[in-house]
Structure 1
């Protein structure tokens, strides 16, 4: 099989690439990545030199590059996206360009070159916020922040290409991911790396916002199931089964890093901060046999240990971002 993986040098995409090359002998993977601030070729170091891997530095919104890399592919797994909510509140331009225009460009190329399946990787944030219960795949989209709105737009485009043009599209929506190689702007790696350096961590508001936590390896395993057996035009929820408030998560991270509450700084809540996300994952369990395999306690301990042992990976990233902020 020949797979085009967009955003394959990012956190989740690189896990999918590493796992595919490890577990699927004979598969050829082409990675298309723009290498923005969160894309990192070091994420692919464990498979560097693998005969099945090809890397292309390019933009999903560039039709010439996309046309070239899509030709000859059997399937596309589309991870590439701008994802950080705070950055989208400051400026939505890059989010619309990458998440909407980039997806459109890929869909058109996939249709033109006869790709047999297009897996579009999305997020639970497209639904907005839910006070109690869980969203099903039939719940209407109601995003509250620019990032989520751009992802909702890309979801609808992908499904429209299936319904109107006959492209075999499947959409996945996941809960919050965590694990190794996650860029240290997201809450778990941000808190862990700050605490390992003895620096304070910023907790939004009162810490009551709730999220379900999904280990990146479980996420990518579920995507593989969807790629292989998902129904054309279907939407599948992927969750981890561990819902925590940010305050509860902070307590676990402090304990894992041997730090005290005096390093926690309560900061003003961000605009449009959704209170709670929750996905009903019964469809993917029933149809594809998915269940999360990594217990959160085990996954979190392994994640903290990875960051403890891989300072050479994250320290340059944090110092680069700090230097940029100072400028």
Structure 2
């Protein structure tokens, strides 16, 4: 297999590249990334020359087509996105350009070159808001009800992917994952933000709705799920990827403070961002039954290992702190 991974210098993308190279050493993987603020070429340094790197924009048709042709790619895995919910509140246009038009540009190139598969990595957030006391969970058949510019851009991209399957028979699959955590995550995101701030004795900024919950999935388990979809998933299908492990914002803060031996006084309340969803929870029965996938890393273990990773990799994350894209109080 000759695979092009977009967004390969980001958090999940770089972990996926590392996983695939390890598990499928005879395959060729090409890393493709624009290296915007959250893209970090250093995320792939440990792979050396094993993975060719192409700096490019998924919304640029010429760059995409050239990369696919030059490297004789037959499979594309699309992680590339503008990922920051808060930044999307202030700059929605850049999210539509990359997440929607960029995905369509990739699909058009895949269609023109008749590639074997296009896998699109999406999010639980397309399904919208869920009440904290709701006994249900989002299935692959749940309606899309995005409430923020980021969520809407990801939902639109999902629809474009499905349209290319239905209209042009482009061989696609989609996975919608819950919140990821683990090594190499840019330190603006909740878990690494809390960890790195705690290590520096800085405040852990919690939105005022501290009881809001997320479902937490270790990035390694997510990579294994995408691997199963690529190898055994049905073309045209969508697969939810979730762990079932829910934690509130404040529970995460408390866990991080305990693991770093820091005081509760570091917890700091900041105003909620507009459109802040209360909760997401995925029903991942389909991928578990059809493909035999299940998460292997319990949240307690995964969070402790993640804290240890950030403790050991200060030279990696410290320079990135200054690159955070937004002040979380910018809308007040």
Q: Per the shorter chain, which TM-score range?
A: over 0.9
For 2:175, the equivalent position in structure 1 comes to: 172
Tell whether 2:45 aligns with 1:42.
no
Does the 8 A contact of 2:129 with 2:277 survive in 1?
A: yes
Deviation per CA, 1:31-65: give whole Å up to 9, x if none: 11000010001100111121xx1110010001100
Q: State the distance in 1 between where 2:327 and 2:236 align.
A: 42
For 1:110, the equivalent position in structure 2 comes to: 110
For 2:32, the equivalent position in structure 1 comes to: 32
For 1:143, the equivalent position in structure 2 comes to: 146
For 2:65, the equivalent position in structure 1 comes to: 67
Q: State the distance in 2 between where 1:322 and 1:312 align.
A: 20
- 1:94 CA displacement: 1.1
For 2:161, the equivalent position in structure 1 comes to: 158
Tell whether 2:22 aligns with 1:15.
no
Q: State the distance in 2 between where 1:256 and 1:84 align.
A: 26
Q: State the distance in 2 between where 1:280 and 1:22 align.
A: 29
Tell whether 2:256 aligns with 1:253.
yes
- Residues 1:64 and 1:246: Cα distance change in structure 2 (over 3 Å): same
Q: Which runs of 5+ in 1 are unaligned?
A: none
Deviation per CA, 1:109-160: give whole Å up to 9, x if none: 0011111111000000001011211011011101000000000000000010
Q: Normalising by the residue count of structure 2, what TM-score does the alignment of the two structures yield?
A: 0.95
- 1:73 CA displacement: 1.1
Does the 8 A contact of 2:86 with 2:326 survive in 1?
A: no
- 1:323 CA displacement: 11
Deviation per CA, 1:152-197: give whole Å up to 9, x if none: 0000000100011000110100000000000001000001000000
- 1:324 CA displacement: 10
Does the 8 A contact of 1:206 with 1:247 survive in 2?
A: no
Q: State the distance in 2 between where 1:233 and 1:319 align.
A: 41
Q: State the distance in 1 between where 2:209 and 2:158 align.
A: 32
For 2:78, the equivalent position in structure 1 comes to: 78
Q: State the distance in 1 between where 2:150 and 2:247 align.
A: 22
For 1:227, the equivalent position in structure 2 comes to: 230
Tell whether 2:181 aligns with 1:183.
no
Match of 2:303 among 278, 300, 305: 300
For 2:89, the equivalent position in structure 1 comes to: 89
Does the 8 A contact of 1:122 with 1:174 survive in 2?
A: yes
Q: Which runs of 5+ in 2 are unaligned?
A: none
Tell whether 2:318 aligns with 1:315.
yes
Tell whether 2:123 aligns with 1:120.
no
For 1:196, the equivalent position in structure 2 comes to: 199
For 1:100, the equivalent position in structure 2 comes to: 100
Does the 8 A contact of 2:181 with 2:217 survive in 1?
A: yes
How many residues get paired?
323
